[in-house]
Amino acid sequence: MKQEKESKPRRSLRSVLGSLRAQVVGIMLLCYFIPLLLLGTFIQTVLLRGIREKTEAALTSGVENAWTLTTQRIDRVIGLSRDAVYDGELTDAWTRWSSGAITDAEYLRLSRSYLDRKYSRENLFVFAAYFPVSQPELYMYTRSGNEDALRFLREQQAFTLAMGEVLDTRSYFWGAGDEIFLVRNLMTLRMECYGMLVLGINRAELFSDLDSLSETWDAGIRLQLDGWGEEGLSDAALAEGLADTLDSPDLRYVRTGDGDDYSLRLLVTVNRRQQYRQMHQFRLLVVGMYLLMIPILLLIARYVQKRIVNPVTLLSDASRRIEAGEWGITVPMQGGDELGDLGQAFSRMSRHIEELIEKTYTEEINLKNAQIQALQSRINPHFLNNALEDINWQARMEGSATISGMVTSLSVLLNASMGRKDRRMVTLREEMEVAEAYIYFVQQRFGEDLTVTREVEENALESVVPLLTIQPVLENAVEHGIAPAGGGKIHLSFCRQGDCLQMVILNTGRAIQPEDRAKIDAALCGEAMTGNHLGLANIANRLRLIYGDRASIHIFSNELCETVVEMQLPQDEG
């Protein structure tokens, strides 16, 4: 009957595992085929088409924006060149000069002053030059870009004069490479040409937006502005707008415009493969990903069976047994993954449960023993306090100051040992009262053979310390240092160092002996102690419980063979 009862859960467990395995396989297949179909359809119908449309729209928007800003700058250049006619200053200066009213020097000064005021501060111009057609050797130019102006006048003045004969009132852009010039005839009110204005154009400033477009799209930019730039862009075969033909490897955008005084042609070419390479790469990536997932799915199925289904079953069975009260059960699960760590942790937890229970019982017993010892050491402290108070008053009435002081000090020590209304943390000022009471007793014992000095910073007195921290250290110094040496000196130092309280207690009695070193180290490590160093171990344990690793206590001999106890206690806000 017992074997039959045990076999039933096993058969049920196998059926559950089989169902779980089938569900996992089904979920994995669905996770493979459904995304494949959905993602393939989405890529072909939405994503790739959307990427192409957004690319074309972004290219169109970028070209149109750059075209608009560029034509605005060209219009500004032409407008500033017209101002030389409409302002009338150059015309007035020429009229006065030609009539002999002013000298050549004055004529040059007035003309140059106008050019400097009008064009020197404009970033679109490299230089501005002007000369009368009747005396072209008398030319004026701006101070900025004077070298470019002189070179232009030396090399291109004759060609400019010839061009002026056919320009009439229009302006004209011409040049080569990065050099662009605007030439305009200056006319009187009677439409007589009396001079020519030449503006050297800053190409980088004029076409800055088109250059930015070229960098952004890695595009080729071809321009024709009147007589400057590349020829052939006005061909009728170059249709306006965006062109994307399969027989061409490039996307092509053509933009043309004929203003009142200029003609501008723009051709932007972008490599199609380079712009759409991410779409092709993405398509190949998706295909490769799904092919790669086939063996991965097989590995995942095997892994799920071995590392998930089987371990979960082991943990489920073990947890039921622990729930039934079987402590110390372990599961044979290994590995460095989370389930392996969980199995090992489960086994450690199961093995440690009994140890923890036993340890808890032991700690409770030790705590009760300590409380019993404390109660025994107090010997009915309320009764003692009342009796000591009566003795103190009797001693004062009889004039015995020493006995009164001893009784008062003993009362302070008893109050501290009673816990001061269950307070575990006190201020340094209160803790020093207990220490002073103990010092009073030992000074009565050693007399002039014991000297106690104190160095306490005022701002350290309100620092918080555990109850009965200083007095046990003083007692340890007296019993192990001062008493064996027959006397000596004890120095107490307390100061704040940032967020910590530093307490140093030094005695000049007997130095630390080699056999004492091991006991002191054991006490500081929190090992169970009996005998002489019990108080020191108690302090170390309490500091560790209260502050963790933030507090420290060190006992060592300095270069004068003096014993030093140094404690660092953190002072948290609040």
Q: Which CATH architecture has domain 87-217?
A: 2-Layer Sandwich (3.30)
Is the Cβ–Cβ distance between 516 and 480 less than 8 Å?
yes
**What are the start-end ranges of the H helices in 87-182?**
89-98, 104-119, 146-167
Beta-sheet strand order (sheet of 228-229): 228-229, 220-225, 263-271, 250-258, 241-243
The SS3 call for residue 33 is helix
> At how many degrees (to 10) do helices 428-446 and 470-477 cross?
20
- Residue 183 has which token pair? 């030439």
Q: Where in the chain is the domain with CATH 3.30.450?
A: 87-217
Tokens 């500091």 -> residue? 543
Tokens 């030094």 -> residue? 506
What's the chain's length in residues?
574
Q: Where in the chain is the domain with CATH 3.30.565.10?
A: 450-570
DSSP 446-496: HGGGEEEEEEE-GGGTT-EEESSSHHHHHHHHIIIIIHHHT-EEEEEEEEE
Q: Name the DSSP letter for residue 233.
A: T
The pLDDT value recorded for residue 529 is 54
pTM: 0.46
Phi, psi (degrees; rounded to nearest 5) at 113: -60, -40
pLDDT in tens, 453-489: 999 999 999 999 988 889 889 988 998 999 999 899 9
Phi/psi region, residue 531 (left: phi>0; alpha: psi -120 to 50; beta: rest), is left
| Lowest-confidence region among 42-51, 288-297, 369-378 | 369-378
Q: Are strands 450-456 and 488-497 parallel, antiparallel or unpaired?
A: parallel
Is the Cβ–Cβ distance between 410 and 441 less than 8 Å?
yes
Q: What percent of the chain has pLDDT over 90?
A: 27
Domain 450-570 has CATH 3.40.50.300: no
pLDDT in tens, 436-449: 988 988 888 888 89
pLDDT in tens, 122-171: 999 999 999 999 898 888 889 888 888 888 888 888 888 888 888 888 89
